[in-house]
Amino acid sequence: MNKVEQLKVLHGCMEDCKRCTLYKHRNNLVDFRGNPHAKVVLVGEGPGTKEDDKGIPFIGPSGSKVEKACVKLGIDTDKDTFIINSVRCHPRHNATPTTAQLSACKRWLLAQLCVVRPKLVITLGSPAGMVLSRNWRFKVTEQRGIIQEVQFISRIIDNPLQTKLLHTYHPMYVARQHSEEVTAQWMKDLAVATEFLN
């Protein structure tokens, strides 16, 4: 199977997933958007209300901020990136996903990464950083901006991925800080993606 076919199979499996309680209250499974052949993957936290309504990740306020930043950097999110979340079902009241929910959805995240096979994975915020660094005490403020060589192993896709991992702030954290320094750090982190596009 090619990448698109593998992602379609994974989507069907996620539709049936009941590994945590989030599925009970979702309107739609929120899978991915962007290019399955992209060299850069952006990993967010979880779907918001708008994403839950449409079944598409990063189309709400967070997505708008990421989109504007990428446009400034010359990154076309539809062509140059593959965008997913750490959990695929909307947490009620826009709550931060729990460690149990993140752990339950990790199998799908790792499987998709091993299918897409990016050269760079950028986590947006602490929940995504926790999952992919395998550290539940992870703090993005301590780890952002550092490029790491990592290996991701999926129990579903028998093809481990060697890639680079970079952590940065969640877009809404950046928005709330009203800080030129934090915004500059975030933009600098996202700009690393441009080095992997060609």
> Which tokens in the block code for residue 76?
């076309």
Confidence grade of residue 55 (pLDDT, cut at 50, 70, 90): very high
Domains belonging to the chain, first-starting first, are: 3-196 (3.40.470.10)
Residue 149 pLDDT more than 90? yes
Q: What is the mean pLDDT of the chain?
A: 96
Residue 111 pLDDT more than 80? yes
pLDDT at 50: 95
DSSP-derived letter for residue 98 is: P
Q: 153-170: buried (b, 16+ CB within 10 Å) or exposed (e) per residue?
A: ebeebeeebebbbbbbbb
pLDDT at 175: 95
Residue 79 pLDDT more than 80? yes
Confidence grade of residue 4 (pLDDT, cut at 50, 70, 90): very high
* Sign of the four-CA dihedral 115, 55, 104, 20: negative
Q: What's the whole-model pTM score?
A: 0.96
Tell me the mean pLDDT in the region 9-29: 96
pLDDT at 108: 98
pLDDT at 121: 98
pLDDT at 60: 94
pLDDT at 135: 92
Tell me the mean pLDDT in the region 75-92: 97
pLDDT at 160: 97
pLDDT at 150: 97
Residue 198 pLDDT more than 80? no
How deeply is 184 buried, as exposed, middle or buried, from its count of CB atoms within 10 A (0-12, 13-18, 19+)?
A: exposed
pLDDT at 45: 96
Cα(39)–Cα(67) distance, rounded to whole angstroms?
17
Confidence grade of residue 23 (pLDDT, cut at 50, 70, 90): very high
pLDDT at 106: 97
pLDDT at 63: 95
